[in-house]
Amino acid sequence: MNAEIHELVTDLKAAARIGRADTLNLALDAVAQWDRLAANQNMDASFIQQAILPLGTALSSPLVKRSWLRELADAPLAALRAISAVALSNLYLTDEPSVSTDLQSLSKDERADVRLSLVAALRQAPGDHDARLLRLAQAWHTASSPRTRATALQLLANATFEAALPVLIAAHTEDNREVRRALVDTLLEMAAAGNGQAIIQLLSDWAKEPSPNVWIITKTLSGSWVMIHLEEARAILNTLSADRANAKRIARVNQAWERHQQS
């Protein structure tokens, strides 16, 4: 943590220990005026780890009122909304289930970096919170907002395959690109965590459907995890090859496999 961030975090922690809105607002003004945040530019994953998570965690005090955090979640500055997402996530994980409504609102934020901050805070918090994350995923995967549905999938990576399966199945017919991308990323994470055989079977089942979601299947099969499941993966591609329209996507998978074999 660099000196600037450390000073901002220290001041925010001190304000949180007091808990008064005027003191919190004063400390937050300094955060909002920081050059890295004031321009409201996109925040990458590294910056979220280095700055947003520590700043949000600094507000995780029982003296900081939830109503104040909710106001912060509506701030024009994306970084302040992201900081609120972290603080509210920590509150949810310390046994405040009613905060899930606030988290769902943040899960459909227009800025991807705010949503990434939310997911990072939920997934990286110390302790065993898998059951709580699964409950959020189960509640959100049918939401009207595709951003919320995508966020739900991002919370599944640490769940058991059996627990995650209903949400995975519900998402595999999605047309929304953001949700499909989140599904692929989750499947890749779960495959890397030792669920490769179960995912191969799932993709095989999906490939046999009358109108398979070829994008999801081929993107997932393009990962390096497939190299120990090549025979089954080739069978899936063979099933998809019955439709000539899939030829280009199948060719890209084979090219990915060649790259993995050479690396």
- What pLDDT is stored for residue 1 in this prediction? 64
- What pLDDT is stored for residue 6 in this prediction? 93
Contact by Cβ (8 Å): 59, 71: no
Q: How far is 156 from 153, CA to CA, in rounded Å?
A: 5
- Token match 């024009």: residue? 76
Q: 130-140 and 161-171 helices cross at what angle (nearest 10)?
A: 20
Residue 38 vs residues 2, 13, 138: alpha-carbon distances, Å = 18, 21, 36
Non-local (6+) Cβ contacts of 68 within 8 A are: 21, 24
Predicted TM-score of the model (pTM) = 0.92
pLDDT 10s per residue in the chain (263 long)?
688 999 999 999 999 999 999 999 999 999 999 988 999 999 999 999 999 999 999 998 889 999 999 999 999 999 999 999 999 999 999 878 789 999 999 999 999 999 999 999 999 988 888 899 999 999 999 999 999 999 999 999 888 999 999 999 999 999 999 999 999 999 999 999 999 999 999 999 999 999 999 999 999 999 999 999 999 999 999 999 999 999 999 999 999 999 999 98
Q: How far is 34 from 16, CA to CA, in rounded Å?
A: 19
Q: How far is 237 from 241, CA to CA, in rounded Å?
A: 6
